[in-house]
Structure 1
Amino acid sequence: MDAKLGHDAASMTAVLAAQKAAHLRDGAPSAEQRIDRIDRCIGLLIDHRKAIEDALNQDFGSRSREATTFTDIAGSIGPLKHARDHLKKWMRPEKRKTTPAILGLLGAKAEIQFQPKGVIGVISPWNFPINLTFAPLAGVLAAGNRAMIKPSEFTPATSALMAQMFGGVFSPEEIAVITGGPEVGQAFSELAFDHMIFTGATSIARHVMRAASQNLVPLTLELGGKSPVIIGPSADMGVAAARVMFGKTLNAGQICLAPDYVLTPSDTLDSFVAEAQGAVKKMFPTLKDNPDYTAIVAQRHYDRITGYVEDARAKGARIIELKPDDEDLSQQEHRKIAPTLIINPTDDMKVMQEEIFGPVLPVKTYGKLDEALAYINSHDRPLGLYYFGADQAEQDKVLNGTTSGGVTVNDVIMHVAQEDLPFGGVGPAGMGSYHGVDGFREFSHRKSVFSQIKKDIGPLQMLRPPYGAGIRKYLDGQMKR
C-alpha cells in the first residue's frame, strides 16, 4: 500500500468511495469470506508479535513486553477467534412473532436480518493501540463490513507498523490505515462512514460527534471517566489492595478502565495503605530500570500527572509514593512515575476533577455505604465501577444504587475481558457497546422483514374498504383494557 494513502481529505474520500463501491459491487460477504478476513487479522498479530512489542516499547520509551503481548496481542486474538467461531450463528435471521398472531398461523413471517452496514471508520487510541484497533475489527468484520482505521499519532511507530501490516494482507478496498496528526483525524471524523467507532477522551469525543453529525454517521463512543472502587467492610483487604494496585499499575494506569479512586471505610484506611504498599513491592521490587513497569507515553502526559500530585500536595493532601527501593526517579531515561496514593483528597484538587490516566490513586474514606454511593452519584456516570466485599446485600445495594458502563465484582477491569458481555459506557463515558455478539449487532443493520401470507383471504380483505361488520368487530376487540 502507498505509504501516503489517505493523508489528506481528498485521498481519504477516494478510499472511502472505493470501499463503498466495492461493498455495492460484491454484496454482503459470505461467512467463509468473513472468517478469512478474521483469520488474516489473527495471522498478522501472531506473525508480528516481536515487531509489535518493539514498536510499543519505542513509542512509550519503556513498555513491558509481557504486558504488550497480554493486553494488545493475545487480548486481540481472543475476540477475533470468538467472532470467527460464532459468526455463522450470529448471521442467522432472528425470528419474531407476527401481529396479529393469526397471520403467523396462516403462514406470514416476521424476522430480523443482519445486514452489513458497509464501511466502518475506526479511530483508535494510543494506550492500547493494537487491541483497540483489532478488538473492534472482530465485530466489524464478523458483520461483513469494510474498515478505514485512523490510529493515534501519539504512538507513531505502532501506527506505521499497523499500516504496513494491514497493507501486506488486505487490499485498500477491504481495510485501509490512515496515519497522521490531529488535522488528519479531524478530516477522518468528517467522512460519511456508515458507522464510526471512536475510543479516546471524552473531550475529543465531543469534536468527533460534532463532525459525524454533518453526515448523520451513527457512532459508538468508548470513552472513560473516573471509575470508582468501593471497598466494603466485608472485603478481604489483602486481595482487594493487590487487585486494585495491579489494575492501577498495568500500563502505568494508562487504561480507560483503570481504578480512578478508592472509597474505603474510615477504619480500614491504614490497612489498605499497608496492603497496597506490600502489593506494589511484590510486583515491582524496583521501578527505575524494571522492564515490567511501563513509562508514561509522552512528556505532556507526564507533566499533567505529576501536576495532579503537586496540586494535591500544595492543597494539603497526604502523598504516599510507593517506591519499594526508595529510588530517585527525578533522573531517569524514561518517564516513569511511581505508584502514588493521595490520601483523603478534597474535591477542589485537580486529581479529583479529571480522569487521571496514570499510576496515581486517590483514596477517600466513608462512614456508611450510603455516603460512598452519594459521592459516586454526584459525579458523571463512570465507564467502570468496582466493588469488593462478601456481603450479598451490600453488593446488591451498590449495583442497584449506581449507574456505570459496566461492573467488576471483587476485581477491577476484568469485565472488559468477558467476550460474551457487551462493553460500553453510559453518558459522558460513551454510547453504544461492542464485544462478542453485541459487537456483531452494533456494526450490523438490523433489518426488519415481514413476509405476508400469499393468499388474499378474509382477515386481509376486511382491512380494505368498503368497511363492514368484520372490521368493526375486530376494532371493538382492540378497545379492551
Structure 2
Amino acid sequence: MKDILSAQRDSFMAALPEPISVRKDRLKRAAAMIRDHADRFCDALSEDFGHRSREQSMITDIGGSISPINHALKNLEKWARPEKRPVQFPLGLLGAKAWVEYQPKGVVGVIAPWNFPVNLVMSPLAGVFAAGNRAMVKTSEYTPVTAALFEEIVGRYFDPTELAFVSGGPDVGQAFAELPFDHLIFTGATGIGRHILHAAADNLTPVTLELGGKSPVIVGKGADLKQVSERVAVGKMLNAGQICLAPDYLLVPSAQESAVVDGIRTAASAMYPTLLSNPDYTSVVNDRHYERLNQWVEDARAKGATVDVVNPAGEDFGSTNSRKMPLHIVRDVTDDMTLMQEEIFGPILPVRRYDGIDAAIGEVNRRDRPLGLYYFGKDEAERRRVLDRTISGGVTIDDVIFHVSMEDLPFDGVGPSGMGSYHGLDGFRTFSHAKAVYQQSKLDVAKIAGLKPPYGDATRKAVARQMGG
C-alpha cells in the first residue's frame, strides 16, 4: 500500500497542474467501469448479501454511482474557476487583487462500507476525480465478491497511479488509515470512525467521516398518515434497512399511534406480499448481523415491548437459512432496550408516542445528533420549530432519505454522525485545497499604510482605521 501511495503521489506531482480535460476523462472512465459491468456488479452484490434485489442494486449502486459522476462532468468547469475575492479599502483602488484557486490535494484514501459497496466507492470518487486527485480505495471485507470484481476490472480503465483498490480485514483497514494521505474519507459505523480518526491523527491527515446514528421520523400536525406509512415503509425496507440514513425510530402523537402502525403494516404488505422468495427483498448481509438483529428484538420483548412482525404470507422464517428478515414494528419501547440505544441497521422499527411537539424535539435532542431527520406535517410553524430546535446532518421533509440523492446538497453528519461533507460542489471543495492568492499593488502600499518605519502620523491613522476610529 505504501508503494502504491508513493507511486500515485509521484505521478500526481509530476503531472501538476491537472487539466480539466484529464479530470473529465477520469470521470468518464469511472462511469464506464460501472456501466460496462453493471450485470456483474449486481451478481456480485447478490452473492455477497445472500440475496440482493437486482432492481434495487441497479437503482442504488449502478445508477446511483453514475449519476454523481455525470453531475460532476456537467459542472466541473464552473466549480474549478478561480473565485474573485474583494480586498480591503483602499487596496482595490490602488490596483491590488485577491482570488481563490481550487487546487487538487494529491492522493485521497477512500474507506468504503459494505451496505452500498459500489455507490459508496464511486460517489466519493466523483468529487475526488473532479478535484484532480488520485485515489486509493479500501473495500469492505463483508462484500468480498464485489471487492474482487473491482480489483479485477480497474486495470482496464485506470493506471494504478490514478486509481487502485486494496482489500482485507480490520488489520488492512488500520494500516490503510495510517497511511499519509492528503485526505481520507470513511463511511461506516461511528465506533470505527473514532479509530479512523485516531489512525489519521499522527499524519495530520484531514478526514471526512460519514457515520450513522439513530435518524428519527417525527409525525407532525396535519401529516397525511397514508403518505407517512408508505414512505417510511419504503425507506425502512430498502436494502432491508441496512442504510445509514434509514428511519431508525418513529415519533408519533399518542392518538395516532395505532393508525400509523396499521398503515405501515398495510404498506409493507402491499410492497412485499411475500418475503422468502421475493426477488425485490434483500437479505441481511451476514449471520452476525442477522443474529444481532434477532437478539435485539428478543431483548425488547423481554423488557416489555410489543412486537408486530409483518409477515403477510405467514411464511416460516425459522426453517430457512436465507437471512431474510421481515419488518418488525416494535411498540412500547423504553430507553433500556438495546434497539433504542444503538443504530439498528436492519428491518426493525421502534415506535414511540409523544404529546406536544416539544416533547418530540426533546426526545431527539437527548440523543446523539443524527445523520438524518425526517418530518411529516402541514403546520409551517411546527415544521420551522423542528428545523430550528434540532441539529442533524440533513433533513428530508415529507419523506425519508431523499436529501442524500440531491447532488447539489452537501451530504454530511454532525458530531457522532460525522464530520465534513461531500456531493456536488461541496465534494469538489472538500477534495480541493482552496489556495488564497493576493497580488499586491504596484504602489508602495507599506509606506502609504504606515507599515514602514519610521512610524508616524500615517501609522496612527492606519491603526485608528483598523479599530474603527
Is 1:347 the counterpart of 2:335? The answer is yes
The equivalent residue for 2:23 is 34
The equivalent residue for 2:397 is 409
What secondary structure, in the 3-state scheme, does the structure 1 residue paired with 2:276 have?
coil
User: Counterpart of 2:210 in structure 1: which amino acid?
Assistant: E
The equivalent residue for 1:395 is 383
Taking the aligned partners of 2:464 and 2:199, their CA distance within structure 1 comes to 50
CA RMSD, Structure 1 to Structure 2 (Å): 1.1
Q: Deviations over 1:411-444 (max 9, x none)?
A: 0000000000000000000000000000000000
Q: Select which of 112, 122, 133 maps to 1:134.
A: 122
Mark the CA change 1:473 to 1:133 in structure 2 (over 3 Å): closer, same or farther.
same
The equivalent residue for 1:450 is 438
Is 1:63 the counterpart of 2:52? The answer is yes
1:179 Cα deviation after fit: 1.0
Mark the CA change 1:457 to 1:385 in structure 2 (over 3 Å): closer, same or farther.
closer
Is 1:80 the counterpart of 2:93? The answer is no
Q: Deviations over 1:120-169 (max 9, x none)?
A: 00000000000000000010000000000001000000001111222221
What secondary structure, in the 3-state scheme, does the structure 1 residue paired with 2:319 have?
coil
- Structure 2, unaligned runs of 5 or more: none
Q: Select which of 259, 268, 287 maps to 2:256.
A: 268
The equivalent residue for 1:96 is 85
Is 1:149 the counterpart of 2:134? The answer is no
What secondary structure, in the 3-state scheme, does the structure 2 residue paired with 1:330 have?
helix
Taking the aligned partners of 1:41 and 1:470, their CA distance within structure 2 comes to 59
Q: Select which of 234, 243, 254 maps to 1:246.
A: 234
Taking the aligned partners of 2:361 and 2:325, their CA distance within structure 1 comes to 30
What secondary structure, in the 3-state scheme, does the structure 2 residue paired with 1:110 have?
strand
Mark the CA change 1:167 to 1:391 in structure 2 (over 3 Å): closer, same or farther.
same
Taking the aligned partners of 2:332 and 2:219, their CA distance within structure 1 comes to 15
Taking the aligned partners of 1:348 and 1:297, their CA distance within structure 2 comes to 26
The equivalent residue for 1:192 is 180
Taking the aligned partners of 1:120 and 1:23, their CA distance within structure 2 comes to 11
The equivalent residue for 1:172 is 160
Taking the aligned partners of 2:141 and 2:319, their CA distance within structure 1 comes to 27
Q: Select which of 4, 8, 33 maps to 1:19.
A: 8
User: Counterpart of 1:57 in structure 2: which amino acid?
Assistant: S
Taking the aligned partners of 1:213 and 1:175, their CA distance within structure 2 comes to 24
Retained in 1: the 8 A contact 2:219–2:376? yes
Taking the aligned partners of 1:479 and 1:353, their CA distance within structure 2 comes to 52
The equivalent residue for 2:34 is 45
The equivalent residue for 1:312 is 300
Taking the aligned partners of 1:107 and 1:406, their CA distance within structure 2 comes to 43
Mark the CA change 1:458 to 1:307 in structure 2 (over 3 Å): closer, same or farther.
closer
Q: Select which of 277, 284, 289 maps to 2:265.
A: 277
- Structure 1, unaligned runs of 5 or more: 1-11
The equivalent residue for 2:325 is 337
Retained in 1: the 8 A contact 2:449–2:458? no
The equivalent residue for 2:423 is 435
1:461 Cα deviation after fit: 6.5
User: Counterpart of 2:411 in structure 1: which amino acid?
Assistant: F
The equivalent residue for 2:371 is 383
1:271 Cα deviation after fit: 0.4
Where in structure 1 do 4 or more consecutive aligned residues deviate above 6 Å?
A: none
User: Counterpart of 2:367 in structure 1: which amino acid?
Assistant: H
Retained in 1: the 8 A contact 2:446–2:452? no
Retained in 1: the 8 A contact 2:448–2:458? no
The equivalent residue for 1:234 is 222
What secondary structure, in the 3-state scheme, does the structure 2 residue paired with 1:68 have?
helix
1:66 Cα deviation after fit: 0.3
Taking the aligned partners of 1:29 and 1:449, their CA distance within structure 2 comes to 19
326-335 or 313-322, which deviates more: 326-335
Mark the CA change 1:461 to 1:370 in structure 2 (over 3 Å): closer, same or farther.
closer
1:459 Cα deviation after fit: 5.4
The equivalent residue for 2:276 is 288
* Same amino acid, percent of matched pairs: 55
TM-score w.r.t. the length of structure 2 is 0.98
1:29 Cα deviation after fit: 1.1
The equivalent residue for 1:3 is none
The equivalent residue for 1:477 is 465
Retained in 1: the 8 A contact 2:304–2:332? no
1:477 Cα deviation after fit: 3.1
Retained in 1: the 8 A contact 2:449–2:462? no
What secondary structure, in the 3-state scheme, does the structure 2 residue paired with 1:102 have?
coil
1:249 Cα deviation after fit: 0.2
Retained in 1: the 8 A contact 2:216–2:374? yes
How many residues of Structure 1 are paired with residues of Structure 2 in the alignment? 469
1:265 Cα deviation after fit: 0.3
Q: Select which of 346, 360, 376 maps to 1:358.
A: 346
Q: Select which of 202, 205, 209 maps to 2:193.
A: 205
Is 1:117 the counterpart of 2:125? The answer is no
The equivalent residue for 2:213 is 225
Taking the aligned partners of 2:208 and 2:431, their CA distance within structure 1 comes to 9
Is 1:298 the counterpart of 2:315? The answer is no
What secondary structure, in the 3-state scheme, does the structure 2 residue paired with 1:103 have?
coil
Q: Deviations over 1:242-275 (max 9, x none)?
A: 0001000000000000000000000001101111
1:103 Cα deviation after fit: 0.9
User: Counterpart of 1:157 in structure 2: which amino acid?
Assistant: V
Q: Deviations over 1:213-268 (max 9, x none)?
A: 01110000000000000001310000001000100000000000000000000000
What secondary structure, in the 3-state scheme, does the structure 2 residue paired with 1:52 have?
helix
Q: Deviations over 1:60-81 (max 9, x none)?
A: 0110000000001101111000
User: Counterpart of 1:228 in structure 2: which amino acid?
Assistant: P
